[in-house]
Amino acid sequence: MRTFAIAAALCFLMLSACAYTPPPRFDQTTYPRVYQGFDLTFFWRTVRSLDTVTISGFLKNRIHNKITDVDVSAVLLNPAGEQVGEEAVSFVLQDVAMDELAYFSLPLHLGGIGNAEKARIYYRYNLVERESGVLPQYHNFVIPLD
């Protein structure tokens, strides 16, 4: 019975390891759009299909020693700047040190929304400072979907 349990656990671990897909490599020609905030720089591309707009790219920590618990989210905006559709969220599952890159992907479902021209990108992270401890940070910016 013990041998069976060990064999089953090994099979589970080997099969679950196959499910991991590493993020793509960063190439600025592949991610031509750039937004440079005070703290982070975003590089992205937008791919539109029949019912989805996917914003994928990388964020780069420019000035902080380390940031943790990073999440990036987006909502679609109509020409009047009002939110349409549902929010998409991408969690960065790593701490991001200064000058490091982290991948994100935001699939936004159009669901009959034909007039989405822009997206508002929100990003949140915890700034780790020795003197101050952990400081939560929240920022956003608007991008065109062309």
User: What is the spatial distance between Cα 95 and Cα 102, in angstroms, rounded to a whole number?
Assistant: 9
Which pTM was predicted?
Answer: 0.78
What's the confidence (pLDDT) of residue 48?
87
Q: Check if the beta carbon of residue 90 is closer than 8 Å to that of residue 112.
A: no
Whole-Å CA distances, 23 to 1, 12, 93, 128, 135: 39, 23, 11, 25, 28
Q: What is the pLDDT of residues 51-78, one digit of tens each?
A: 888 999 999 999 998 999 999 999 999 8
- Nearest alpha-carbon partner for 110 in 64, 25, 46, 63: 46
**CATH superfamily ID and name for 26-144:** Gamma-adaptin ear (GAE) domain (2.60.40.1230)
| Helix residue ranges per DSSP H, the chain | 2-17
Domain borders along the chain are: 26-144
Whole-Å CA distances, 144 to 96, 100, 116: 26, 26, 9
Identify the segments of the chain with pLDDT beneath 70.
1-23, 112-114
